[in-house]
Amino acid sequence: MTITIDERFNSREATEGNTPSTELLYLVQGTEDDLQVKALVAATAPTLYDGLVRDSFSVAPLGGGVWECTVRYVHQESETQFTFDTGGGTQHITQSLQTIGSYAPAGFTAPNFQGAMGVTTDSVEGTDITLPVYNFTETHYLSGALVTPAYKATLFFLTGKVNGAAFKGFSIGEVLFLGAAGSKRGSDDWEITYRFAASPNVTGLAVGPITGIAKKGWEYLWVRYADAEDQHVLVKRPISAYVERVYELGDFSGLGIGT
């Protein structure tokens, strides 16, 4: 005999409010085996419905191989932990914000490199600096029904991407997702920690005589130099600046931890 499962006409009764819930009702026909019924309901009823998580289901025999099944969905409150630090990151730069002073022997004038630093005959060596980077983590406790292989794949594919929409109070392009680490607690839920780094978008940057540069937080700015002569000395000077996108944009709503 063929086993069938159909959602009943009076299904989806819902309660709204602080503790919303919904019930989906199914009718299973064609078997006297309760284990078959349970397996079929578990495979058919969605794990998520209207923002609610599948909490439990019950099966009741009506006789003649017919079963009435009720699947209950509830709002899951999740404990959340937050940490942050402003330790910053480092970047190698070749251009200063401003040359504060230049010095030369009496009777000579120091050549003007227009902000280029560590200039040698062949290159501009620059220096490493600390940049403002806001590192933060969020730890969420999610139902096992939510942490599916597809969700784990979403975490994987979003790692190394920057936010394509406003996220946690930051503008597009300011937040880099560094990845997530999770562990299952018993047989019920998962503890997952999400790691992020934020770097501010900036406008109005200047590189020597080049002005009006705009750069999103995780874009990369580099400068091209050319030889010039100043005070009878061959110098390197910035002649163009480039802003490069080096990280792909991602849809962080897929993390499921709010925006």
Average model confidence (pLDDT) across the chain: 91
Q: How many domains does the chain have?
A: 3
- Answer yes or no: do 153 and 209 share one domain: no
Percent of the chain with pLDDT over 90: 67
Report the share of the chain in percent with pLDDT over 70: 98
Residue 252 lies in a domain: no
Whether 75 has a pLDDT exceeding 90, the answer reads: no
Q: Indicate whether 23 and 60 sit together in one domain.
A: yes
What is the pLDDT at residue 89? 78
Residue 186 pLDDT exceeds 90:
no
Task: Supply the pLDDT for residue 90.
Answer: 85
Residue 103 shares a structural domain with residue 149: no
Domain that holds residue 162: 80-85+132-200
- Alpha carbon of 4 to those of 11, 66, 179, 238: distances in Å? 17, 10, 42, 74
pLDDT of residue 78 exceeding 70, the answer is: no
| One domain, residues 220 and 121 | yes
Residue predicted with more confidence, 24 or 187: 24
The answer to whether the pTM exceeds 0.85 is no
User: Measured on CA atoms in the order 149, 170, 174, 163, is the torsion positive or negative?
Assistant: positive
Report the amino acid identity of residue 251.
Answer: D
User: Does 173 share its domain with 136?
Assistant: yes
Structural domain includes residue 256 = no
62 and 159 share a domain? Answer: no
3-state secondary structure 82-106: EEEECCCEEEEECECCCCCCCCCCC
Neighbouring residues of 33: CB distance < 8 A, sequence distance ≥ 6: none
The pLDDT confidence band at residue 74, using thresholds 50, 70 and 90, is confident
Examine the domain organization and report whether 195 and 206 are in the same domain. no
CB 138 within 8 A of CB 195: no
Structure tokens at 49: 């419905």
Q: In 3D, which of 189, 173, 150, 140 has the Cα closest to residue 249?
A: 173
At 94-124, the pLDDT tens digits run 999 899 999 989 988 999 999 999 998 889 9
Together in a domain, 109 and 148: no
pLDDT band at 145 (very low <50, low <70, confident <90, very high): confident
